[in-house]
A and B are shown apart, each in its own frame.
Chain A
Amino acid sequence: MIRLEQLCKHYRLGGETVQALDHVDLNISAGEYLSVMGPSGSGKSTLLNMLGLLDTPDSGSYWLNGTEITALSEDARAAERNRHVGFVFQAYHLIDRLNARENIELPLVLIGTPPAQRREKVNALLRRLGLERHAEHRPNQLSGGQRQRVAIARAVIRRPALLLADEPTGNLDSHSGQDVITLLEELNDEGITLVMVTHDARMGQRARRRLWMQDGTLLRDEQDARR
């Protein structure tokens, strides 16, 4: 599903050039469960942003579902993001003035889905995540775990093929962190491709395929035999 070839990206940080991705080659097939680990500044977040079309590479190519992404216009990449990619962030990134339902339906609102259809989809998802009672609550009325679950609901409302999670449990206590991981894994079991960036080796070990990064290169690529 995903193929990266010789992908490079560098940043200038305070006059110094940082090679965030250094000729990275990577293949990910549909339904995989990947964790990306490594020290800070190793380029794992950059890799995630590349996969999510939020960032453009300096050189190299990226095929997503057979489409060469680097050739697409900004508009087209936005449309691809909306259709195929869901994001889960460490800081949730919920909009404070909107309630849970409105946050979840935002991707549908952006593509102009009529309210009746939106309601149906959001209700189904709320039931599934046990958030029915919180549909009208604002983010500041929810616990951290609940917020992250709302964020996950928003990420999967368009039924994307690819779910990208950047430290999804970083701001949570171990109990709610466990809940969130379980939810993400459930979604993966249903066929969604899950890529998770994490610091936590224990969390990382749960994934069937584990990538270690350092200085913008893939250090190690471990894959469990069992499927």
Chain B
Amino acid sequence: MLGADLLRFNLRLLTGQWFRTLMILLATAVGVAAVLLLTGMGEGARRFVLDEFNLLGNDVLIILPGRKETTGGIPPLTGEGTRDLTLADAEAVLGLPGVQAVAPLIVGLAQVEAEGRNRELVVVGTSTELFRMRQLEAGQGQILPDTPLDRAEPVCVIGSKVKQALFEQQPALGQWLRTGDRRCRVIGVLDARGVSLGTDLSDAVLIPVASAQQLFNTQGLFRLFVQVRHIDLVDTLKPAILDLVQARHQGERDITLITQDSLLGVFDDILQLLTLAVGAIAAISLVVAGILIMNITLISVSQRTPEIGLLKALGASERQVHRIFLSEALMMTFIGAMLGVLLGYGLLLGGHWIWPQFPVSVPLWALLGAILLANSVALIFAWLPARKAARLPPVLALKGETDA
């Protein structure tokens, strides 16, 4: 039998029993679409997180006070040092050859008051370098000025949500804020995009690091970001920084140095695994579709028993009958899978249209895997019924009897 003839023969069958065909198409399409949708969303989440973290750049080292023995796994995000990491340490690190810039970070909660409104907000003490490292920009006004680290200028930059909460539609630039017991003037408002490294800066007030030290009454830094001149220098700078801080801390090596690569690696692994897991869960629906296909093929075999007898009388061999029934199931699943691909991509693009920040992309392995799985499921589940059809004794089959 020619391939084209087989295709036409099956097509007649599928269009002839359109309701049955529709049901199988639907089952397969839903299965494939589910795989695409879930893996697409998982992959989207992974990209989303990676994009966020990537803003920092690969050439940035993060110093945490305190030391933890790590044997793989997630690096400690909170330090437990006995000695503070100070601004003097930051200046010293800046003095190392190969270091481009340092950005200290102090984070705390404080009562913020303006225009008679009172809010408890995250207050971040940092310097102008942080804005450059994280590619933060002011939507209005300017970012923190480039002043020596130990100067406590009475200025602040506020996140867009803070501006809404405290000033609503009123202009915020030039207004005075009270943070704790200190006053500062608003010199800038961050643009709306403010989530970075897990912290929503749109909900924060940014002040010079020295002001934050006074506000929270501490010398110790929460973090120190170190940007190196060139990415190749990262490996040589790591021991240099550790040695320098050790010398400054009376011989105690009480800091932890992490690169965002190690952070990203862990997140990447976790999210990849998650995507794989949801993909596998969705794949179960394809197996369910397979069982439906088996049932339908069985029904098809018993409905078409006389036809099978006839085909055999006309000279169709067992192999040919087997192939006819298998190809029917395969054709149906293939069309169903294609519909599922369209449906899945349609839904993903629809989601992307509604929520543009969320990147959607279906990994190639999920796309090919879903189509392949749908077809192999059809092949496996239709195999037995098709063999049953092929083995029918022609004399009985012509009379419409399926049992020998």
Contacts and interface: CB of A to CB of B under 8 A. Distances in A.
A interacts with B: yes
Interface of A: 49, 52, 54-55, 74-75, 78-83, 87, 89, 93, 95, 97-98, 102, 106-107, 109-112, 114-115, 154, 158
A111 B315 contact: yes
Contact of B5 (A80, A83, A109): A109
Interface in B1-37: 1-2, 4-5, 9, 12-13, 16
Describe B's contact surface by its main secondary structure: helix
Interface of A is mostly: helix
Contacts of B12: 97-98, 102
Contacts of B5: 109, 112, 115
Contacts of A110: 1, 311, 314-316, 320
A95 B16 CA distance: 12
A109 to B, nearest CB: 5
A64 B2 CA distance: 29
B398 interface: yes
B164 interface: no
A54 B394 contact: yes
Contacts of B307: 95
Contact of A52 (B313, B317, B320): B313
Given A54-B395, A112-B1, A112-B2, A95 B310 contact: yes
A80 B230 CA distance: 80
Interface residues of B, number: 26
Given A81-B314, A110-B315, A110-B320, A49 B395 contact: yes
B328 to A, nearest CB: 13
Interface string B276-315: 0000000000000000000000000000001101111111
B315 A81 contact: yes
CB-CB nearest 5 A-B residue pairs? A82-B315, A78-B317, A97-B16, A81-B315, A75-B317
A31 B311 CA distance: 26
Interface of B: 1-2, 4-5, 9, 12-13, 16, 306-307, 309-320, 393-395, 398
Contact of B315 (A49, A79, A115): A79
A74 B311 contact: no
B401 to A, nearest CB: 12
A205 B306 CA distance: 31
Contacts of B309: 93
B355 to A, nearest CB: 47
A54 B2 contact: no
Nearest to A55: B395
A74 B5 CA distance: 23
Interface centre among A78, A111, A154 (most CB of B within 10 A): A78
Contacts of B320: 78, 110
A154 B314 contact: yes
Contact of B2 (A93, A106, A109): A109
B274 to A, nearest CB: 48
Given A54-B394, A93-B398, A97-B13, A114 B2 contact: yes
A109 B312 contact: no
A28 to B, nearest CB: 19
Nearest to B397: A54
A74 B319 CA distance: 10
Contacts of B319: 75
